[in-house]
Amino acid sequence: MPRRFAEISFTPSVKATQSHYGSREANLGFEQADDPKNILSERERQFIVARDGFYQATVGENGWPYVQFRGGAPGFLKVLDEQTLGYADFRGNLQYLSIGNLKTNPHISLILMDYANRRRLKIWAQASVIDVQDDPELIARLASPGYQADVERAIILKVEAYDWNCPRHITPRYTETEINERILSPLMARLAALEQENQMLKTASLSPVRQE
Ligand SMILES: Cc1cc2nc3c(=O)[nH]c(=O)nc-3n(C[C@H](O)[C@H](O)[C@H](O)COP(=O)(O)O)c2cc1C
């Protein structure tokens, strides 16, 4: 059984190119894998709900790909079941490029980055667009309480395939929260301990020398 991502993306032209550059044999492994990797396991689900953004590609009816960033509160991309994701789409610059593209072609690709840990996950899916007035309950389920944004619609993604990339060439980057957790908190704790020690040493050095 082939990896689902290879079934989707190893087009005749891609296979011919693999042959041209001598990697066709190596890539056959993806087409003979035991696990098609189209059902999200616990590992992918945990990774997805920890993200605060992702890059999303759609295709216009003229064949041009279009990539846009979607961001929100951590966990705004929700796992509805092991093959379904959903997110609340916010009001933006009113160009509606992604939504317009999805009207003629539901194919969508996401790339989810974890810069701090140098991990990334690619997802292929079929998207459907549901306007707020058509399913307010779904919108309520997808919204992030307290996050400042006007929700215009829900995007539901039926996952067809996923694939993890290797960490090469991902430069580690840290969010403000990650900097606080990983760097500033331990530094502040160390600083506080040193201040306390310094104070004790000062107090001891200022105490009168005991006369025997
Ligand atoms: C007032 C406003 C202006 C924006 N201007 C831009 C812009 O010039 N370029 C851009 O890439 N995103 C801009 N954005 C963000 C996009 O509107 C947002 O990412 C939206 O989801 C884009 O969706 P689309 O590209 O799929 O149509 C703007 C958002 C707002 C609220």
The pLDDT of 99-117, averaged and rounded, is 97
Q: Given ligand 1 and candidates 52, 59, 77, 93, which is best to mutate, with the most ligand atoms within 8 Å of its CB?
A: 93
This prediction's pTM: 0.89
SS3 for 77? coil
| Res 201 pLDDT > 70 | yes
Pocket of ligand 1 from Cβ distances under 6 Å: 68, 92-93, 95-98
Structure-block tokens of residue 177: 């929260």
Q: Which is nearest to 158 in space by CA: 130, 129, 125, 128?
A: 125
What is the helix (H) or strand (E) element at residue 102, kind and residue range?
helix 97-104
- What confidence score (pLDDT) does residue 208 get? 78
Nearest CA to ligand 1 atom 18: 92
- What confidence score (pLDDT) does residue 207 get? 83
Distance 57 CA to ligand 1 centre (A): 15
What's the whole-number average pLDDT of the chain? 95
For residues 67 and 154, what is the distance between their CA atoms, to the nearest angstrom? 18
Check: CB of residue 55 under 8 Å from CB of residue 111.
Answer: yes
Nearest CA to ligand 1 atom 28: 93
Structure-block tokens of residue 144: 């992030």
For 70-87, write each residue's pLDDT tens digit: 999 999 999 999 999 999
Distance 11 CA to ligand 1 centre (A): 32
- What confidence score (pLDDT) does residue 210 get? 64
For 126-155, write each residue's pLDDT tens digit: 999 999 999 999 999 999 999 999 999 999
Nearest CA to ligand 1 atom 4: 93
Report how far apart, in Å, the C-alpha atoms of 116 and of each of 74, 119, 181, 184, 187 are: 15, 8, 12, 15, 18
Confidence of residue 212 (pLDDT cuts 50, 70, 90): low
Check: CB of residue 178 under 8 Å from CB of residue 117.
Answer: no
CA angle 203/208/210 to nearest 5° reads 120
The pLDDT of 39-46, averaged and rounded, is 98
The pLDDT of 115-124, averaged and rounded, is 97
For residues 72 and 54, what is the distance between their CA atoms, to the nearest angstrom? 9
Atom of ligand 1 nearest to the CA of 93: 17
Distance 145 CA to ligand 1 centre (A): 22
Lowest-confidence region among 21-35, 150-164, 197-211: 197-211
Nearest CA to ligand 1 atom 21: 92
- What confidence score (pLDDT) does residue 211 get? 63
| Res 91 pLDDT > 70 | yes
